[in-house]
Amino acid sequence: MQQRDKLFINGKWVAPHGTGLINVIHSTTEAVMGRIPEGHARDAEDAIQAARAAFDSWSATPPSVRADYIRKIAEGLKARSEELAQLIAGEVGMPIKMARAIQVGGPVYNWAQAAKLLETFAFEEEVGNSLVVREPVGVVAAITPWNYPLNQITLKVAPALAAGCTVVLKPSEVAPLNAFVLAEVIEAAGLPPGVFNLVTGYGPVVGEVLASHPEVDMVSFTGSTRAGKRVSELGAQSVKRVALELGGKSASVILDDADLAAAVKGTVGACFLNSGQTCSAHTRMLVPRARYDEVKAIAKKVVEGYTVGDPLLETSRLGPLISAAQKDRVTGYIQRGINEGAELVAGGPEAPEGLDKGFFVKPTVLGNVDPKATVAQEEIFGPVLSIICYDTEEDAVRIANDSIYGLGGGVWSGDEARAIRVARRIRTGQVDINGGPFNMQAPFGGYKQSGNGREAGKYGLEEFLEYKSLQMKKPAA
């Protein structure tokens, strides 16, 4: 068991102001796998002051020097890859093969990319008689979720540091142990004191201070839409910049000329990744009404191929959910879907056979779901796919857009130009065309109540920069 009793503030591991500890629960065994400090409001304030004091010096550091530090952090994480994969597989429940590739491989890549970006990024340009410069926004509070813990931290902290900002990180208290490994790696890389600070604790205590403090210039938050609204309210009091990456209810639109087998298989995969605990998961599969029976049969067969089990076993394709509360929430939605008239195609609310311990849920497909049903409108955050029938292409676009969210989605068609035409009409931050793979250099973020701002690639770096125009007096002719 990992016992963490100190916070990382101003370049040192320091005792928190309070004595409370938070248990970290293993998603498969339900045992306590670690403990972390329950941070106090004063801990958050200390971290903010340390970040503020470090800002002037760090923001003036040449980009090439910042890149050297960030490169060292990428190398340090890579050296601890297996330790991190095992840790996150336990915390979150993602099967170990995927945890290595996604939960750790992604962050290592994104730290390295942040360093590489600094080699070519233009921090200034001449526009007429103005010199337009890009400057760091200031002290950044990064508040991150539990589903892709290290990667969501990375997509905020790496570009913020690259931009010349200083950072206070509050990771999710549900999956926080990986953040302590990152802090150790940052310490070993020799980052100047106060540039990066780690404070753990609960959102209503630590998070509220970070979102409302006048010395914080920007809050970057990933989590639920409900919590994001609260962060926005608090940030508005001091007119700070707020970037939000929130919930989703993404639609995978399968057009009538699509390769049906490939489209259904791809959609199931995009729904069930990380046991459905993915904000951009394709949880609504829109299919031509005339092809429903075919789709249902393919989906049932695909789901039967998902082995549910211990994420540390190489054979497991689907691990547990993060917590008992999440398990109860997801099974409740499955039952509600059935109660509201959906056809149970695969899975169901009962625990998978032989898995009485751990937060396991059967991968579930609900058929013939009404577009207005609860399971078609609310984010479930579990391995639950709703099949929704449509009559025309126009109808499919309307249903896809009938959501308060707009984060991800997909379009499948035998005609790529047609797929792109439909994708352009879907109000969402990104759309996969015929299963196009995730691109870590493309902007990631949402429309509507899925949030605002973008992460990843150069777009993620730009989020942490301000524009300044220097008007120059041209010499007389």
Considering the candidates 38, 45, 91, 245, report the single residue annotated as catalytic: 245
Q: Which amino acid is at 235?
A: G
Tell me if 6 sits within 8 A of 16, measured CB to CB. Answer: yes
Beta strands in 156-289 (DSSP E): 166-170, 196-198, 218-222, 241-245, 250-254, 282-288
Task: Judge residue 120's burial from the number of C-beta atoms within 10 Å of its C-beta, 0-12 exposed, 13-18 middle, 19 or more buried.
Answer: exposed
Tell me if 307 sits within 8 A of 317, measured CB to CB. Answer: yes
Task: Judge residue 394's burial from the number of C-beta atoms within 10 Å of its C-beta, 0-12 exposed, 13-18 middle, 19 or more buried.
Answer: exposed
How far is Cα 331 from Cα 338, in angstroms, rounded to an integer? 11
- Of 471, 468, 461, the closest CA to residue 111 belongs to 461
| Block residue for tokens 């509507």 | 448
Is 389 a residue of the active site? Answer: no
- Backbone φ and ψ for 178, nearest 5 degrees, come out as -60, -30
Considering the candidates 271, 279, 389, 455, report the single residue annotated as catalytic: 279
Is 455 a residue of the active site? Answer: no
Which run of H or E residues covers position 468?
A: strand 465-471
- What is the 3-state secondary structure of 195-224? CEEECCCCHHHHHHHHHHCCCCCEEEEECC
Q: Which residues are catalytic?
A: 245, 279
